[in-house]
Amino acid sequence: MALSVCTFNVNSIRSRIDLISRWLSEKRDVDILCLQEIKCQSEQFPFEAFESLGYSCAVNGQKRLNGVAVCSKIPFSEIRMEFNDEILDREKRLIEVKTEQTAVLNCYIPRGGEVGSERYDYKMEFFDALRAYVKGLLEKEERVVVLGDFNVALEDIDVYDPELFEGAVGFLPSEKEKMRSLLKCGLHDCFRKLHPESRSFTWWDYRSAGIWRDEGMRIDYILANERMCGECFGTEVDLWTRRRRSPTPSDHAPLIAEFGSLGGSSVTDLKQTAD
């Protein structure tokens, strides 16, 4: 059975709920929708809007800042919102769910700051703590997806102008090193696996109207362990929600990955079925 998974930094769920409802009902059917930067307490989350579309929601909210949620059409068998680590639990930036045999960890990595600043140090520490947690997750689960807003553009191809971004937050060598270290513990970048040369972004600055010139960064990722990545037969950045003036868009666009069970079917078969 095919499984569609999406990551989307909504930059305030209550400001974006009309847009997302239209997107899900008119444009895109998604099985598991992972949201970051919902900017509300858990009880303020618009559960009814998602439930009306067939979703159950798990929410780890925070007043005015951060916050993550998972909305799924597949029942949750497990939900985790605390990770027994001061760095990971300091702010509401992680939520883990298990649906059937797949563990999904939804992440909102701190943006950070200039080298030596408190926010920079927190970002570095968060990556280290996250890597340690993910390493344990990979050891106990056979099917793992780690996704979200990582606030790092990993390669030159992931920004519209590498020279312009040199030394900028989100493109620092130390940030890239932490991201690569996370990948090396056993994760694969699903988008880059299927599109090794594609220049495709997930974030564009509001202030410069960069979406209309495609002046952006790829900072949102869907990562998976080897087994799950081998089942990934499609990825896409859906620009429908971003190229709008009304309802007001987020500064990110959703990234979607399609997975299919390899039990009796090859990735080639799945691609042909999708076509």
Catalytic residues: 108, 149
Contact assessment for residue 146 and residue 224, using Cβ atoms and an 8 Å cutoff: yes
Note the Cα 26 to chain centre separation in Å. 22
Residue 183 host element (H or E): helix 173-184
> Rounded to 5, what percent of the chain is helix, strand, coil?
35, 25, 40
Rounded to whole angstroms, what are the CA distances from 159 to 19, 89, 137, 163, 200?
26, 30, 30, 9, 9
Distance CA 213, CA 226 (A): 35
DSSP 97: E
